[in-house]
Amino acid sequence: MAFSRYRNNHSLDTHINNSLNWLQARQKPDGGFAEDSNAQAGRVFETAQVVKALMLAQSAGNPTAQNSTFQNVLNNALDFLLARQQSGGNWQDGLLPTLLAAQIAPQSQLPDTDGDGIPDSVEIELGSNPAIADSSQFAVGNGEALPGASTAIVAGGAMVQQAFETDLAASCGNGNYAWSLVSGSLPEGMTLNTATGRLSGTPTQVGQFNFVYRAADSEGWSEDVLMQIAIEAPPPVQVPFMPEWMLAVLAFLLFLIGQFYRQRPTTR
């Protein structure tokens, strides 16, 4: 890693390495760090800061910070901090040491197979293929979307609480496929027949369900396809519509019937 300013090249890794070596020399036998070179035990405040610096150097790709020696330095410092957390959850009865120590957890990175900056789990929810990088070239609506690759193949016509089935498809291979679910999930109540590629069942929940399935033939060819099943609610009950003229006729007939019964002589 290097940067240039005023025509002078400066190697950042050299400065980082010098700093790491200086810090390593100040690690105490208990695994902690202390600014006082004469101290025999580490301190939570300084140790938490050193741990953060080592983690940042590792995440930046510094080879020295990533080697086994400094990984041991980091592990010993983490053990030091974890061993000194008090029963109440704090460190050294202080707010600042606790805040620093609470930030030592390494950051986790969500899988991003296609490297487009969108995690696989998010792409499945959005209905895009986690194996193909998203770009404006494949935007839906410009005529260049690839069903099953950049956009989902939509299987419509499914209705909640009603039996539904559909057959998965593959674009190539020798026709002797094994089918499997790679990511995402099927609607509740539906299952995949891994031998025939048929999805069937009675869905129990309304919604759009995105998933990626794989078709693999007996010669080693395979294909991942993005698909969506849309489960719809049953249509509302249609109330028969009666035009106004019919309502008027009906009202007139009821009026006549009422008049007829009023004028009928009563017998005693």
| Domains assigned to the chain | 2-101 (no CATH), 120-232 (2.60.40.10)
Q: What is the pLDDT of residues 39-52, one digit of tens each?
A: 888 888 888 888 88
Q: Under a CB-based contact definition with an 8 Å cutoff, are residues 70 and 20 in contact?
A: yes
Q: What is the pLDDT of residues 105-147, one digit of tens each?
A: 555 566 777 776 677 777 776 666 777 666 544 444 555 556 6
Q: What is the pTM of this model?
A: 0.42
Catalogue the E-assigned strands of the chain: 2-5, 8-11, 153-159, 164-167, 177-184, 190-192, 198-201, 207-217, 222-232
